[in-house]
Structure 1
Amino acid sequence: MRLSNTRAFPFEYETVQSRISQAKQSLVHAHQWKLFVLALILLDFLSVGLAFRVAYFVRFNLGFPLFRLEVVPNYEFYIHLVYVLIPGWLLLYAFFGLYNRQYLLSGTREYARIFSATLTGMLLVIVVGFLGPDFVVARGWLVASWLLAFLFTSGGRFLVRRLIRIFREKGFFIAPALIIGANEEGQLLAEQLSDWKYSGLNVLGYVDNHPPAEGSMGAHPLPYLGGTPALDELVRRFGIEELVVATSAISREDLLDLFKKYGVGSGVNLRLSSGLYEIITTGLDVTEIASVPLVKVNKVRLTGVDRVLKNLMDYSIALLLMIPLLPVMGIIALLIKLDSPGPVIHRRRVMGVNGKTFDAFKFRTMYVNGDEILEQYPELKEELARTHKLKDDPRVTRVGKFLRKFSLDELPQLFNVLRHEMSIVGPRMISPAEINEYRKYGINLLTVRPGITGLWQVSGRSDVSYDERVRLDMYYIRNWTVWLDLQLLLRTIPAVIKGRGAY
């Protein structure tokens, strides 16, 4: 009887089976995230508890002269206090969205939320101590608890992110997604979201009422799955959880229909692009003028507090490094002079914010007649024009090879940082001729100052292809936070020591 029904109604049977399969898949996917959140809560519980315990050891057992040694610790008091504070800390984490799937695995933004939550916890304890004179805690213990809770929780989340990437390679924690719109903007969105290890999205294809022309789907085409009338069936069949809309590809009426169907309580997340994909990295501000909400495009990527924090970090790090590195730079200058004739400093004309050019300082690593030397190697000259780099460059001096290997040739760029032309961390600086290599992304690159180090530096430097370098630069600009800069600074040290990709 079952076989007969299958033959008589093949479409209905296939649809029912598909829906059952997708329902099971969605259920498994939901369980994955529930288990993940429970594991996070347990990890945070252990991290915060360990932070309070280590803080007690630091304050009362190490005997730092910074603390008042005559204070007698009350171990019982702190044990009972921790029993109250740990659940309170976890409630604060929940309040700041640290168990909300929307904010999980968001990298530096997640660390910023942890910082805010732990700071709020410390301030609440201070307020309770102010209102209740009988409630007294050691200030050293409280400050140490705050810092250690932030460090331990952030470290745990960092390890979790690495673990999730491994799980995603095996098909876990990936949400099926569709892109609404197969125009140029839709294809750019697909390109950025295609690395599901980072995006967490398995983009299955495009939905568009205007089928794209054959051969117009770029180097890595996704399938065209039909128009918006087929969207309900596609969502059911593939268990779609994310709809990413290229707003420039659909009409206002179609956009309103999408919002009515999926914008409220459908179990599918509806995400709209800005329609300004080319300049979105500068950030957008929504303001009302005469009760009309209008979107203003910022001229630079960093504004307000972000700009202040970036400048403060640049100047403080540059000044701190200059003191011990000035003698080192003097020795390097002497070695360059002894190794080959010519100036010590090479000035490279590069592009800065809003296309303003400036001279980036570097220690000279090439012979002064480098162009003449290169003319003797036509194949290398062709490779240089194509890739903008040479692994075995005959123009590089003996000292220059050593300086490049450990990035010592870039030390003079600290003066560029003090002159507000560069940042400590940022995208790779480029010459005016290279801007065309960035194509649609060139305008984005010029919204921030170039950096001495950056995501390209810790990802392999010259071993990274030019297209990959462009992608890394765009990722950095779009996702900048002060936490991302600090993370990249910490990763720069082992990258420089290893010398991988430096030539």
Structure 2
Amino acid sequence: MEEPVGKRVPGARGVARLRLPPASAAGTAEDARPRAAGTSWERRYSAFVIGGDVVATLVVIASAVLVLVELTGRPYLLHASGTTAAVLCALPFNRAWSRHVLGEGAEEFRRLGRALLMAGVVVALAGLLFGALDVQPWVFAVVPLVGLVTMVQRYTLRQVLHHARHVHGTCMLPVLAAGAPGSVRDLIERTRAGAHVGWRVEAVCTDSGTGEVGGVAVAGRLDEVAEQVCRGGYRVVAVTSDPYWTPKRLQRLAWDLEGTGAELVVAPVLMEVAGPRLNVSGVLGMPLLRVSAPAFTGVRRVVKEIFDRATAVAGLLLISPVLLLIAVLIKLNDRGPVFYRQRRVGRDGRTFMMIKFRTMVVGADRIRDELLTANEGAGPLFKLRRDPRVTRVGAVLRRYSLDELPQLFNVLGGSMSLVGPRPPLPEETVSYERAARRRLLVKPGLTGLWQVSGRSDLSWDESVRLDLRYVEDWSLALDMVILWKTARAVVSGRGAY
């Protein structure tokens, strides 16, 4: 039977429920098998997303009708109804309401953007087909405004969901992990570090069937996975690497899980490759996981270059009063130079001069050797939480990353990108291993995954892993998400010193 709303799943720390208004009572199960836990809050969250999209669409289009009637005196009812139909049909067609992507990663917003682009094209073609040549405001203003409002409301709901997971430990998907102890332990550690994903490993199946892995009790052997799912009502079955998992056994497990409501997830060997580079296709009756080469050139990179430089120009014009104020404060503080130029390593190992606002006393580089014994940085990095060389103005600038604003000039000049790996010092790259050197395949960024994931609080290995993930899985959608999250990281000041 399905778990009623508010009932605790086995081993859960809290109630798997989103703190939103109550939904209708759950129906009965289709068969005698226990249904996966957590579906009540999932249905409620999906209802809020879909309802929010519909309301946002209707409100924006109704407002557009009122404005256009006031300006032109025409009712525009046909345009309004056609645009509404186009948007509300494009969303499910592009699976923008799929439960599997709601609240997870950039894919949700990628599908939403694709749906609204399709709706705009349909409205434009319909205008040409029926001779309604005055559809330009609907294509270039109304549909994009619908997209903006729906993205904001989805982001707000996602923050409510993430808050419930981080703070209350609720709205989590109970996971049964099955595989070798080492790979299962890695999965457990990742889920604990990324609570916003919503996975909580509550039981483990291993070859031995006894003991515990990463603080989670082993519930049974690998050949008992389906039985354990039926008994515990787990929402996700995560299969990690183990010699036991042959193609026939995985297929049999998939059959056994049918009707349980549990989602089967198989972790590939290439754990750090994801997103647009992975595609599953059938060849000669066999499902094959295709891994495309990372794209370092091409049309998408040209679009990135144009976007970077246009945004840098707009940003410099917009924040020029702020730049001037910071420059005055630095000058008044100790009469020293305003900018600090430092040689950094860019794409393909080429060096360039990176520009920052000066945050340390004049001649700080010369006394660095005296502080090496107190270094708190990870790996080859040199960092001090309470660096005596930092000025009073510099401490404020560093906390909110304002010292990095002049790097927009580097972006404008083409030596840096808005989003990319952290720009390393030449002495750091000397000790780079082969994996770390892949960071130099793309331009360094003013911000990146390292910036929105803890900055100086990250270990060296974690910093390298995040940079490599960006290099391997780069996409324009990922850039947009990172830029959006950067604003939050800068405001909070977390990990900056």
TM-score by length of 2: 0.74
Structure 2 partner of 1:422: 416
Contact 2:209–2:219 (CA under 8 A) maintained in structure 1: no
Could you tell me how far 1:50 is from its partner in structure 2? 1.0
56 and 460 in structure 1: CA distance in 2 versus 1, 3 angstrom threshold: farther
Higher mean alpha-carbon deviation, 451-460 vs 462-471, is at 462-471
Could you tell me how far 1:151 is from its partner in structure 2? 1.0
Structure 2: how far apart are the matches of 1:29 and 1:23? 18
- SS of the residue corresponding to residue 275 of structure 1 reads coil
CA RMSD of aligned residues (A): 4.6
289 and 305 in structure 1: CA distance in 2 versus 1, 3 angstrom threshold: farther
Structure 2 letter corresponding to 1:38 = A
Structure 2 partner of 1:157: 154
Percent identity, aligned pairs only, is 31
Equivalent in 240, 247, 263 of residue 246 of structure 1: 240
Structure 1 partner of 2:97: 99
Structure 2 partner of 1:358: 351
Answer yes or no: is 1:261 the counterpart of 2:253. yes
User: Where do residues 14-413 of structure 1 align in structure 2 (5 Å cutoff)?
Assistant: 26=35, 29-61=38-70, 72-75=72-75, 77-78=76-77, 82-83=80-81, 85-133=83-131, 135=132, 137-168=134-165, 170=168, 172-182=170-180, 184-195=182-193, 197-209=195-207, 220-247=214-241, 249-251=242-244, 253=246, 255-262=247-254, 265-266=258-259, 267-278=261-272, 283-284=277-278, 297-298=291-292, 300=294, 304-322=298-316, 328=323, 332=327, 339=334, 344-350=339-345, 352=346, 356=349, 358-359=351-352, 361-363=354-356, 364-367=358-361, 369-370=363-364, 373=367, 381-384=374-377, 388-397=382-391, 400-401=394-395, 403-413=397-407
Post-superposition Cα deviations, 1:400-454, rounded to whole Å, max 9, x if no partner, equal: 4454345343244334434544321234334477689999974775565432123
Contact 1:244–1:273 (CA under 8 A) maintained in structure 2: yes
Structure 1 partner of 2:5: none
Could you tell me how far 1:166 is from its partner in structure 2? 3.8
Contact 2:175–2:234 (CA under 8 A) maintained in structure 1: yes
Structure 1: how far apart are the matches of 2:158 and 2:275? 24
383 and 155 in structure 1: CA distance in 2 versus 1, 3 angstrom threshold: closer
- SS of the residue corresponding to residue 223 of structure 1 reads strand
- SS of the residue corresponding to residue 194 of structure 1 reads helix
Structure 1: how far apart are the matches of 2:41 and 2:300? 35
Structure 2: 5+ residue stretches without partners:
1-28
490 and 55 in structure 1: CA distance in 2 versus 1, 3 angstrom threshold: farther
Structure 2: how far apart are the matches of 1:357 and 1:211? 53
Structure 2: how far apart are the matches of 1:453 and 1:344? 19
Structure 2 letter corresponding to 1:91 = C
Structure 2: how far apart are the matches of 1:498 and 1:100? 32
Post-superposition Cα deviations, 1:175-234, rounded to whole Å, max 9, x if no partner, equal: 22222322544433333333564222221243332679x99x6xx454344432221221
Answer yes or no: is 1:452 the counterpart of 2:446. yes
Structure 2: how far apart are the matches of 1:175 and 1:478? 28
Structure 2 partner of 1:8: none
475 and 204 in structure 1: CA distance in 2 versus 1, 3 angstrom threshold: farther
Larger radius of gyration: 1
Could you tell me how far 1:150 is from its partner in structure 2? 0.5
Structure 2: how far apart are the matches of 1:193 and 1:175? 11
Structure 2: how far apart are the matches of 1:171 and 1:281? 27
Structure 2: how far apart are the matches of 1:127 and 1:282? 29
Structure 1: 5+ residue stretches without partners:
1-19, 64-71
Could you tell me how far 1:394 is from its partner in structure 2? 1.4
105 and 333 in structure 1: CA distance in 2 versus 1, 3 angstrom threshold: same
Structure 1: how far apart are the matches of 2:136 and 2:337? 58
396 and 431 in structure 1: CA distance in 2 versus 1, 3 angstrom threshold: same
**Matched residue count:** 462
342 and 102 in structure 1: CA distance in 2 versus 1, 3 angstrom threshold: closer
Structure 2 partner of 1:67: none
Structure 2: how far apart are the matches of 1:297 and 1:333? 52
Could you tell me how far 1:367 is from its partner in structure 2? 4.2
Post-superposition Cα deviations, 1:124-163, rounded to whole Å, max 9, x if no partner, equal: 2222222223x56542244322011111111111112122
- SS of the residue corresponding to residue 44 of structure 1 reads helix
Structure 1 letter corresponding to 2:107 = R
Structure 1 letter corresponding to 2:341 = H
Structure 2: how far apart are the matches of 1:185 and 1:27? 24
Structure 1: how far apart are the matches of 2:382 and 2:233? 45
Structure 2: how far apart are the matches of 1:371 and 1:335? 18
Post-superposition Cα deviations, 1:313-336, rounded to whole Å, max 9, x if no partner, equal: 222222434567789489949956
